[in-house]
Structure 1
Amino acid sequence: MKNKKLYIQMFSVHGLLRYHNMEMGRDADTGGQIKYVVELAEELSRRKEVERVDLFTRLIQDKRVSADYGNEIEEVSKTFRIVRTRCGGTKYMRKELLWPFLDEYIDKTIKFIRRSDAVPDIVHGHYPDGGLVALRLSRFFGVPFVFTGHSLGMNKKQKLLAEGMKEADINKKYFIDHRIGVEEEVLENADLIVTSTHQEIRRQYGLYANHDKPRYSVIPPGLNLDTFYPYYYDLMDEFKKKEEQIQARASVMEELNRFFLHPDKPLVLALCRPDKRKNISGLIMAFGRDRELQAMANLAVFAGIRKNIADMEENERDVLTEMLLLMDRYDLYGKMAIPKKHDFVLEVPELYRYTASLGGVFVNVALTEPFGLTLIEASSCGLPIVATNDGGPQDIIKNCRNGLLVDATDIEAIAAAVKKCVSRRDLWKEYSVNGINGVKKHYTWGAHSDKYLKEIKKLSGDAYKDSPVSFKKNPVGKRLTRLNRFLICDIDDTLIGGPEKDLGRLIGIIQDNRDEFGFGVATGRNLDAAMGALRKNRLPEPDIIISSVGSAIHYRDQRFPDLGWLAHISSKWNRDKIQELLKGLPFLKLQEEEAQERFKLSYYMKPGKDRLTMVHDALCSASCRYNIIYSQDRFLDILPFRASKGKAIRYLSYKWEIPQSGIMVCGDSGNDEEMLRGRLLGVVVGNYKPELEKLKGLKGIYFAGAEYAAGIIEGLGHYKFIEG
């Protein structure tokens, strides 16, 4: 990457993500991480070291949300765009339901990379789902993998258990153990983990078995200082406020004033999602129980965006309902505001500045706070802060000296800290000035990007050779994006079994034309047996290995399976049920254990009247979905209905955008029949089995006169597969 501008791909899959009018707080998935990734991507895209930043998210076409989320490409600037990729349909769904569709997302991202003819230099995953996508792409393309967790499953599971939720219910709703497993895999393979605080490394990542494997870098999030400028700028004649900002200020004041009997009092402001962990109830109780505080100030809680509380998620509904009940219990009418909506782009900065102009304070007493982006937003506008003594606020107040830390479970301590900030004007001014200056020094996207790019440079060259996920020696993904032709052959009695001199000639052709076409095998053997046969016969290492009659795909490195294919064929596959249904057929004999696979059930079956029909009847009567391959009058393989050699090849054609008309397939027996049919360039070698006789005369299938490897060479000539 030295002396080369960087192409960075970032992945933030879930939630509602767009550049303008971000809907932060609309739901649990559209929180601070949305703003984080957009602003980071925008800042990086402005750097001279960066050629382009693409921020990938999910494409959503749902009447419940804006049509903006259905645009495939959102061009933010010449060097920054938001790319939306469809997976799991187009309906908006919460992040926990997206896990089964991420392999589809990965496959379509590979197609995007192929079409764009631009392989990224860095992939950066945000949140575990984005991390999984980035990890898989890193493996394919041999590029560094960076991860930012934002929040982690292990920590969430502990808190939910502490709240009394049963583990089974946690997994049912949040798929938490699956998420934790993904996070362990990410930690095992990441080249760099970016965190916001040191405490995040110790107390969150430290819970994982693989916590000591990656390299960490603490890089706090930044802030757009042009948006979150100090409140006193508005008092200066030379400062010209934009009309839209004036309108936003008027809207904020109008919305708040309709709640308050005395709107000129200092304002205690909270801004967060309606989540139990945000401890909104603790703040309301602190305010409601302290009559002196009520006399001094008003309270405003902006808890997300809502229309009808009854239609919201259970957690959000419970929090908002409790807010209303507490407001009523402490009779806070005229003293407390709970607005239903707010605009994050224009109104939130004005809300901070308006609160500061009243001599107010910003409060975040969440039970846990990984960072606290709203704290630095408020501070940049000149608001003193009262914050939980857990997580990110500790670093913020240490760096900025702009407020007070409190125990979020101590109601009286919260009230006392707020009163101290509001009542002591000298202290208020000190915290206000310190916050403004501290944010400028420690929390800008410019400073963040400076350190980020320094860390990225460490991942280049020799420092990256030991990366846990890199396949630096000609990564298969980079190779496949360059190829438009592929030779894929069966192994037994097609590639091997004939004269050695013919095989030697074929090996020479494959090696001499490596830059012209890829080489793959499609076999009934399992992976180990296939690789053993290839090594024994000194065949070149294939780019692609389709094994077990098409029920598995691996790439050059045997440890590198195509998980997208496995996810694709797993649909409606029930191996145990099929085996149980076939127990009563005496003419079937299970093959040896080494022939069995997760997605392949293999039997010996001699020819006999209606035997195949009886197998079909047994499975169809139980509504099984399956695919049967019977070959050489002996081998019966039962696969998922989506699996076969031919379907695997067509899947690879789709995924890597290799035209089917550029793929030549060679075989000799019945388990090759399905891959020989269709739009591929089929070659039947001269020593074929009688079961392929029926293919004679079909378009696109060439019957070679020569046998084994010589027949493959003849097929290459027939299709003029080798240029020149």
Structure 2
Amino acid sequence: MSELLQAVLESDEKSDLRQFASELRAAGNTYLLRNDILNSFSDYCDRHQKDNEFHASSLSKLIYYTQEIILEDESLCWIIRPEIARQEVYRLWSDLSIEPMTVQQLLDVRDRFVNHYHPQEGDVLELDFGPFYDYSPAIKDSKNIGKGVQFLNRFLSSKLFQAPDQWLSALFTFLSLHRYNGTQLLINERISNQRQLSGQIKKAITFVSKLNGDKPYDEFRFDLQVMGFEPGWGNTASRVKETLDILDDLIDSPDHQALEAFISRIPMIFRIVLVSVHGWFGQEGVLGRPDTGGQVVYVLDQARNLEKQLKEDQELAGLTGLNVEPKVIILSRLIPNSDGTRCNERLEKVHGTENSWILRVPFREFNPNLTQNWISRFEIWPYLETYAIDSEKELLAEFQGKPDLIIGNYSDGNLVAFLLARRLNVTQCIIAHALEKSKYLFSNLYWQDLDDKYHFSLQFTADLIAMNSANFIISSTYQEIVGRPDSVGQYESYANFTMPDLYHVVNGIELFSPKFNVVPPGVNENVYFPHTRNEDRIQSDRDRIEELLFTLDDPANIFGKLDDPNKRPLFSMARLDRIKNLTGLAECFGRSKDLQERCNLILVAGKLRVEETEDNEERDEIVKLYRTIDEYNLHGKIRWLGVRLPKTDSGEIYRVIADRQGVFVQPALFEAFGLTILEAMISGLPTFGTQFGGPLEIIQDRVNGFYINPTNLDETADKLLEFANNCDRDPNYWYKISQQAIERVYSTYTWKIHTTRLLSLARIYGFWNYASKENREDLMRYVETLFYLIYKPRAKTLLEQHVHR
């Protein structure tokens, strides 16, 4: 039994537990989430005049760790999360007897809650991925989740130590496999086994040690070839010696740091595919359109920096003489009716690169009225399998061979990445960006009511397929995987759940698998940089943005004229959708007269008029924003810019707001990471970010930014006012927070850090998949079964609806 429950039942607090359970039942709410439970317990303590000491009691501790309570006729289903990534479930009877419940029993309870439990019709399909991870190494401590590659390196180095012949043989064979366009790399046929490799390494080290460290590789290449070594060890004598020394140490005394250092240097990745299917993917005029925001910025920046890192790595490896040309392709969707964008162009070079491209592949036509236009990310599912088949041909033609790494983005891109990686047999990485299951409360439980609009049955199935098939998973934050002590992580929410009448997920993902790695993105430092770097700013752009934000009269694109443009600006920039919650920020501002006296609210947010958008959620938010402005009479105090800005302008906007000692507010109801937070902070803007999601790991509260609870409008207004008051009392306060925000980004969130880590991961997981001989085929067959028997029939049904629209 749970230690938390046991402590209560063995104390005199047992009667309080009985009374609390009784009052929950009397209140009539039959499904309570954590916040409901905490509020109910607080009310209970107030009603029964419990003193402060009671809040440190065993019952109070039990309540804190209780995640859900579901009330049934005779009992309570009590779900406890005693620590991150672990769950316990109990049935609590009226006499306080306790019995543990299985996951299957819990899912039945949830089905009964929504009246979709039909045992007389037979059992529902159960999905359990747990057994497929039994043969893989697993992390033990939850605090190490997201550090998968560190764990894997230790595991591999211990295997090298325990069974050196087996693993050194695997390493030798792995090294001998690598070629570029038919040219052998690393070792040639003169070295025939791992024992010979060890001796030749020592000879080569002796040889290069006698050379000038700066001597170019080409000048002693043939000497190394005679010893059995081909290009790939380094571009100078000192670099070659360094690489050979690391391998020599690894062979003689295996160590996880040496293993990572060596594998990270192997030239094995030259061609990368980044898959980003939905939305309008382009470099100009797309941001702010439906389904088009931070993911586009992320993928473009990632592509530029991956190419840059690949070139740097290959130069250091000594491959310059082989005319190696690393290539990065962003695979996206071609939209024939492109609405003035370049999304109807098959191939577009990524700005600032030599060999990175956006490759757009169209959906097959079916119904041209749909497939020639933008399609919502919630409706995109029927086209992805044929899209993957068509994309494979296009990619093979563009690369003139197979890619070395495929990285999926978001649920749809991750599914395409799975289909491509499976067909091409290459390493697959996925990046969620956001998992809709966490964003929409009870979305799995009520999927049948929501499926006509959101098609969650397809999306959640696609998520299960992608996250289990991936060789490794990148998350931007730890809590994206497993949350915090008081909240469940996005991936953790897939551990078990029910889709009533469709399937039960008993174990949807192994959270302790070393496939999870936290690798946060960076910021484009050419666009986003501190407002104090005046030498890098263009005065004409600065003046134009200043006018746009504060004084320009342009009714077609701007709503609102400021009575006093000199007030401190509160600034936010996002799409107008429910989760981004700009309407909530407007209401927060509207409810605080003090805030209105001190500040102006400036929003950069997509469209101004409902007739200009095809997105239902955006329409609703536009109507709500106008209603809020009228309800709180915010005329003269708010400016709403319905514009799509080029990237360079978005960088200057942050800086102009910072020039006026403004603040950036990110009020999202949930934010998986928060690129705009990084952009604002590196610009020097004090930033207020939502406490729900990734910003908790970016911002250090009251050090380089501030947390807000966007559901508590009065508290949010008070925090903004407190900041303004502190600035008035101490003229240096704004500058102090500003400087610490800048330092935080430069120390932790750069693309150089991101891409170095990502490529290192790809190489190490490539080696692990080869050397471990891990049999993933049973897992992949299970995943394919889910695709063909659940996903594909439902996608076909949706396609038939599309055809007849």
Could you tell me the TM-score, scaled by structure 2's length? 0.56
Alignment of 1:584-599 (within 5 A): none
Change (3 A) 1:211 1:401: farther
Contact 2:268 2:763 in 1 (8 A): no
Q: Does 1:335 find its partner at 2:637?
A: yes
Distance change in 2, residues 1:560/1:205 (3 Å): closer
SS of the aligned residue for 1:95 comes to coil
Contact 1:125 1:131 in 2 (8 A): yes
Distance 1:414 1:144, change over 3 A: same
Of the three residues 215, 229, 245, the one matched with 2:515 is: 215
Give the Å deviation of 1:564: 9.9
Q: CA deviation at 1:561?
A: 9.3
**Equivalent position SS for 2:491:** helix
Pick which of 90-99 and 370-379 moved more.
90-99
Per-residue CA distance 1:53-92 (angstroms, 9 max, x = gap): 11100111105x2251111111223320110011143322
Where relative contact order (Cα < 8 A, 6+ residues apart) is larger, the structure is: 2
Q: Distance in 2 between matches of 1:467 and 1:45?
A: 30
**Is 1:118 matched up with 2:401?**
yes
Kept in 2, the 8 Å contact 1:300–1:336? The answer is yes
Taking a change above 3 Å as real, the CA distance of residues 286 and 564 of structure 1, as seen in their structure-2 partners, is: closer
Deviations 1:372-428 (A, max 9, x none): 111111111111011221111111112993221122211111111111222322332
Report the secondary structure of 1:53's partner residue: strand
Of 729, 742, 745, the residue aligned with 1:439 is 745
Q: For residues 617-656 of structure 1, give each alpha carbon's deviation from its aligned partner in whole angstroms, at most 9, with x where no partner exists.
A: xxxxxxxxxxxxxxxxxxxxxxxxxxxxxxxxxxxxxxxx
Deviation at 1:248, TM superposition (A): 4.1
Taking the aligned partners of 2:616 and 2:785, their CA distance within structure 1 comes to 39
Whether 1:204 and 2:516 are equivalent positions in the alignment is: no
* 2:293 match: 31
Deviates more, 1:129-138 or 1:253-262: 253-262
Give the 3-state SS of the residue equivalent to 2:343 in structure 1.
Answer: helix
> What does residue 7 of structure 1 align with?
271
User: Does the aligned pair in 2 maintain the 1:302–1:338 contact within 8 Å?
Assistant: yes
3-state SS of 1:332 partner? coil
Residue 98 of structure 1 corresponds to: 380
Residue 143 of structure 1, CA deviation = 1.1
AA partner of residue 289 (structure 2): R
For 1:564 and 1:431, locate their aligned partners in 2 and report how far apart those are by CA, in whole Å: 53
Aligned partner of 2:403: which letter?
A: P
Secondary structure (helix, strand or coil) at the match of 1:158 reads coil
Larger gyration radius, structure 1 or structure 2: 1
Cα pair 1:267 1:300 within 8 Å, conserved: yes
Letter in 2 for 1:206: E
Matched with 2:413 is: 130
- 1:140 is displaced (CA, Å) by 1.8
Q: Which amino acid aligns with 1:169?
A: D
Q: Any gaps of 5 or more consecutive residues in structure 2?
A: 1-177, 179-265, 315-325, 366-371, 483-488, 495-507, 553-557, 798-805
- Residues 1:44 and 2:306 aligned together: yes
What is the CA deviation profile of residues 676-709 of structure 1, one whole-angstrom value per residue up to 9, with x for unaligned ones? xxxxxxxxxxxxxxxxxxxxxxxxxxxxxxxxxx
CA shift, 1:280, in A, is 2.3
Q: CA RMSD in A?
A: 3.2
- Determine if contact 2:545/2:656 at 8 Å carries over to the other structure: no
The question of 1:71 aligning with 2:345 is answered yes
- Which of 328, 338, 341 in structure 2 is aligned with 1:53? 328
Structure 2 partner of 1:500 = none
Deviates more, 1:411-420 or 1:455-464: 455-464
Shift of 1:276: 1.6
CA distance in 2, matches of 1:562, 1:160: 20
> Aligned residues, how many?
481
Task: Report runs of 4+ in structure 1 exceeding 6 Å deviation.
Answer: 467-472, 557-573
1:144·1:464 contact (CA, 8 Å) conserved in 2?
no
Q: How far is the alpha carbon of 1:303 from its aligned partner? A: 2.0
Offset at 1:4?
A: 3.5
Output one character per residue of 1:340-366: Cα deviation in whole Å (capped at 9) or x when no partner. Answer: 214041322222111111111111121
Residue 109 of structure 1 corresponds to 391
2:416 and 2:651 map into 1 onto residues whose CA distance is 34
> Which of 228, 241, 251 is matched with 2:528 structurally?
228
Q: 1:406 to 1:140 in 2, by over 3 A?
A: same
1:82 corresponds to 2:381: no
Asked whether the 8 Å contact 1:61–1:67 carries over to 2, the reply is: no
Mapped partners of 2:543, 2:453: distance in 1: 44
1:559 offset after TM fit, Å?
Answer: 9.7
Aligned CA distance change for structure 1 residues 206 and 365 (closer, same or farther; 3 Å)? same
- Mapping of 1:601-612 within 5 angstroms? none
Q: Within 1, Cα distance between the matches of 2:770 and 2:713?
A: 50
Change (3 A) 1:15 1:214: farther
What does 1:24-423 align with in structure 2 at a 5 Å threshold?
Answer: 24-27=287-290, 29-47=291-309, 48=311, 49=313, 51-62=326-337, 65-76=339-350, 77-89=353-365, 90-116=372-398, 117-158=400-441, 167-202=447-482, 203-208=489-494, 209-212=508-511, 213=513, 215-234=515-534, 238-239=535-536, 241=538, 243-244=540-541, 247-255=544-552, 259-309=561-611, 311-398=613-700, 401-423=703-725
Distance in 2 between residues matched to 1:467 and 1:397, nearest whole Å: 42
Q: Kindly tell me: are residues 154 and 5 of structure 1, through their superposed partners in 2, closer, same or farther at Cα, counting changes over 3 Å? A: closer
The AA in structure 2 aligned to 1:167 is: W
Q: 1:239/1:122 Cα in 2 relative to 1: closer, same or farther (>3 Å)?
A: closer
Residues 467, 336 of structure 1: CA spacing in aligned structure 2 closer, same or farther, 3 A cutoff? farther
Partners of 1:93 and 1:453 in 2: how far apart?
33
- Asked if the contact 1:372/1:393 (under 8 Å) is kept, the reply is yes
| CA distance 1:198–1:399, change in 2 (3 Å) | farther
Q: Secondary structure at the match of 1:204?
A: coil
Query: What pairs with 1:477-556 in structure 2 (closer than 5 Å)?
Result: none
CA-CA distance at 1:22 after TM superposition: 4.9
Is the CA contact 1:58–1:84 (under 8 Å) kept in the aligned structure 2? yes
In structure 2, C-alpha distance between the alignment counterparts of 1:271 and 1:86, rounded to whole Å: 31
Which residue identity lines up with residue 345 of structure 2 in the other structure? Answer: N
Q: Structure 2: how far apart are the matches of 1:572 and 1:41?
A: 33
Cα distance change on mapping 1:410 and 1:449 into 2, 3 Å: same
Q: Give the AA of the match of 1:241.
A: I
